[in-house]
A and B are shown apart, each in its own frame.
Chain A
């Protein structure tokens, strides 16, 4: 029964060892014959059977989203999904990391954390006690685009939970004493994170890819934590937690009219304010590859992040690009995984993704590989990026990719919490109201030429940024074969540079090897 009590420490992995998942690599091997396939009697092997065909697909329609607006401009979305007596309410503030002041990266995240540390009426401990007494959960966080305050509760507690949600979001105390405590915890957390190669890789990749663009910041830093004052939190909160810059999503066993009433009662007194419009500094537009190695002596693995600026979520080419990415690296059935892991056994898993962003989002391919095979892995990544960039996908690959993306959609809507996320996505990226109704059809309609056309524009191995965190001495210099290499310490101090030694002939970029 006990799964909830380890929740907070999941990051440290207390429960990690109770279960070991299967999804692990396998070494290269050329289709071996089963040596001992039968367990019982020595019967003759029958003809291999084909997997059963699907029966007729059931159609599925999404529950409608009921939308109303409070007088102060706060939009209220509700969805009835009443199979269980639960409700999820999420208040979304339409400002996140993109609105952090330049000198205080991560301010929005600190504001979110401080919401739970006490209101003008009572302490954080009292708020936590009341919400937990209801059997409910309350959370606050921020990402690149938004700040979220959410609660999930049994339906019978809906009104109480909404009251607490509004109290926490609307009237935080931002107590100096609590802020000092949070700062100490954050400094300890940052110190621990900086020991993790994946954290270093991610931070370095985004900083390098986006420069001064707000998406270049993936976490706060010690300097900002030390510098931040109560008035910074208050100012950010006052400006962004206003009706026109917020919306509410409520999903579950609820009546939309009651949701509107509850929202009016709890959020109706908020100032209308105005919608915050972030300023996006132009990110760098590189015209060539750049390989950045962060030296971490003692690493037994190299963490690789490789990619380029790609596309905004609302762009109409998003869906064809997602299909192309599915062929390339979206799952354990995609090319990167099948080759880097299943065939070449370089890694535990290799994937690629298109991140969803309001402004231009990145295409990223990533894997952690044994130090010895770092060069081979980079070569393999470039082979596959070149191929998706140059050639149309095989018809069967395309069919599989589209089938996975469209047919797995019901798994994205099977709980009220997940339905809420779809609505948050609609509003965050300004997608049309019938977007999800048309979503599966749009995927199925994607043609091979469309998928290739977008891959050529948005997956660009010739001007990729490559970030590798690992023991540089073992591989950095020979990365020259892929482009110019810079080696830095985790603090960013320059340690070495190696010039570009790509083969000039035909200017084909990475050496082409056999494609399996």
Chain B
């Protein structure tokens, strides 16, 4: 986190004040009411008041994701997330969901490479319930052999259903393994290897809880119709006496190294059409070049007027669909292309077009109109993306957790708007060498050499 923050500060001095920025829509952002606080035990609290509708969203973000897993323990962060819904000192099994639903709310949790989050939206007069439930499981998880067996089986079933039995999804795991290689935190999947799930020991649950689920390793974020002072009293009451614990800092391995192009072909029995991934290593999210790379991705693949949708899907009709994007990880990131071919066409045809387009942008850049369009899209996406209490509570929590200050979200749009045509041309010329590239072709049908690894 320290390194990333350093990068951020550099970005700020580089971009701010470079030119006047369209102000109209940044107003919606800078008008966000954000209050930050922290408890003595280190729990960081972000509050965003907005009384448009009488609801509140409560999110808790823990600074642990699949990147923190040890080799042989893949999938554990996500399995643990399931355990957080199995009850705590004052909440019975299954009651977490039913308490919230029966009072008019909704709840869930998710795990990614970089963090685990838990969230609920409730009528505003039920804020105390949401806070009490989150505090109860932060303090005292109910860990039993039976609940653990249940969830372990459930997650294995989830893996079979959502990944192994779905077209193209196994390739989404494989591309990360291939591209990240020795960089374990991102090379392995969040769902985890089946064998690791089978081997997961009960004792590891308590250990994981003790290691990562401390108040000082979490951010609590509340958005919606509530009073910040009243809310802080409730937060203090429920969370205040949860003891702080020492938590490990993430041991960042050496960044993924790649000396030459990697290519692989895999078969997918559930697929009907060939498809492919192309991935390039790029710096972490919110580093200066990342903003320019995101805009480059928009020019290439965002919307039906984008260069690649127009050429691959509409003009040449060789792809069924195409997507270009960055994954926005806290650590070393990927810039990826993903396409499903139209019937009768092979991946190579589309890959040549994509590489040629990247080369053309490195050579000639993007047009002023394309750049302005991308920026307009981002401006609108910021406004539309922060409409609901839930969206705001999550984005603010994420900024507080990753970048140490939720208020930075208010400035975030400025970094995108400051990207110049020259920046895009430069990054297009920097990151797309063949030696930085991983290509994974996906062919429909069974592997002709299925016993071969």
Contact = CB atoms under 8 A, between A and B. Distances in A.
Q: Are the chains A and B members of one assembly?
A: yes
Interface of A: 1-6, 8-9, 12-14, 16-29, 31-40, 45-46, 48-60, 81, 83-86, 116, 124-125, 128-129, 132-136, 152-154, 156, 181, 184-185, 187-189, 191-192, 195, 300-301, 331-333, 338, 342, 345, 348, 368, 370, 400, 403-404, 406-411, 413-417
24 contacts: A2-B294, A2-B325, A4-B381, A6-B323, A16-B169, A17-B163, A17-B190, A25-B150, A26-B86, A31-B93, A32-B145, A51-B90, A52-B128, A58-B124, A60-B54, A125-B310, A132-B305, A135-B380, A156-B24, A188-B343, A331-B101, A370-B157, A413-B53, A417-B387
Interface string B156-174: 0110111101111100110
B170 to A, nearest CB: 10
Contacts of B193: none
Nearest to A23: B108
Interface in B259-299: 270, 272-273, 285, 294, 297-298
Contacts of B324: 5
Contact of B133 (A45, A51, A411): A51
A138 B80 CA distance: 41
A54 B125 contact: yes
B54 A410 contact: yes
A466 B149 CA distance: 32
Nearest to B210: A39
Interface string B99-115: 10111111011111100
Contact of B92 (A1, A31, A46, A52): A31
Contacts of A134: 376, 380
A86 B386 CA distance: 11
Nearest to B87: A34
A409 B313 CA distance: 41
A220 B88 CA distance: 49
A150 to B, nearest CB: 13
Contacts of A12: 167-168, 321, 340
A16 B163 CA distance: 9
Nearest to A41: B243
B404 interface: no
Contacts of B124: 58
A145 to B, nearest CB: 26
A39 B215 CA distance: 12
A192 B53 CA distance: 41
Interface residues of B, number: 134
A444 to B, nearest CB: 12
B184 to A, nearest CB: 17
Interface in B110-139: 110-113, 118, 121, 123-129, 132-133, 136, 139
Nearest to A194: B272
A301 B169 CA distance: 17
Contacts of B126: 54
Max chain A C-beta neighbours (<10 A), residue from B125, B206, B385? B125
B447 interface: no
B190 A415 contact: no
A58 B155 contact: no
Closest 6 CB pairs of A and B: A407-B104, A135-B380, A27-B150, A135-B376, A22-B109, A129-B305
Interface string B74-94: 000010011011111111111
A314 to B, nearest CB: 25
B389 interface: yes
A45 B343 contact: no
A300 B165 contact: yes
A26 B147 contact: yes
Given A125-B310, A403-B103, A407-B103, A14 B338 contact: yes
A393 to B, nearest CB: 13
Contacts of A411: 53, 55, 104, 106, 121
Given A16-B162, A26-B150, A400 B320 contact: no
A84 B89 contact: no
A34 B385 CA distance: 41
A301 B162 CA distance: 12
A348 B157 contact: yes
Given A24-B154, A24-B155, A51-B133, A60 B328 contact: no
Nearest to A26: B150
Contacts of B91: 51
Contacts of A36: 143, 206
B103 A54 contact: yes
B384 interface: yes
Nearest to A136: B380
B302 A4 contact: yes
A219 to B, nearest CB: 16
Given A12-B168, A18-B113, A58-B124, 13 more contacts: A5-B301, A19-B110, A24-B155, A32-B146, A34-B87, A49-B90, A49-B132, A51-B90, A51-B129, A51-B133, A85-B28, A133-B376, A301-B165
A129 B373 contact: yes
B94 A342 contact: yes
Contacts of B82: 22, 24, 26
Contacts of A31: 92-93
A55 B227 CA distance: 13
A248 B173 CA distance: 44
A38 B127 CA distance: 25
B225 interface: yes
Contacts of A27: 146, 149-150, 153-154
A420 B92 CA distance: 39
A59 B54 CA distance: 8
Contacts of A13: 166, 168-169, 172
B273 A188 contact: yes
B123 A410 contact: yes
Contact of B123 (A34, A54, A81, A187): A54
Given A128-B304, A348-B161, A34 B146 contact: no
Contacts of A152: 384
Nearest to B310: A125
Contacts of A52: 128-129, 132
Nearest to B50: A83
A21 to B, nearest CB: 5
B342 interface: yes
A23 B97 CA distance: 9
Contact of A345 (B97, B142, B150, B381): B150
B379 interface: yes
A45 B89 contact: yes
B303 A128 contact: yes
A166 to B, nearest CB: 19
B220 interface: no
Nearest to A409: B104
Max chain A C-beta neighbours (<10 A), residue from B24, B87, B325? B325
Contact of A37 (B52, B89, B106, B129): B89
A37 B161 contact: no
A5 B381 CA distance: 11
Contacts of B302: 4-5, 132
Nearest to A191: B272
B420 interface: no
Max chain B C-beta neighbours (<10 A), residue from A3, A31, A39? A39
B187 interface: no
Contacts of A3: 381, 385
A441 B110 CA distance: 35
Nearest to A192: B272
Nearest to B81: A22
Contact of B110 (A22, A333, A409, A416): A22
B413 to A, nearest CB: 9
B199 interface: no
B24 A85 contact: yes
A79 B57 CA distance: 25
Given A24-B158, A38-B140, A54-B126, A124 B304 contact: yes
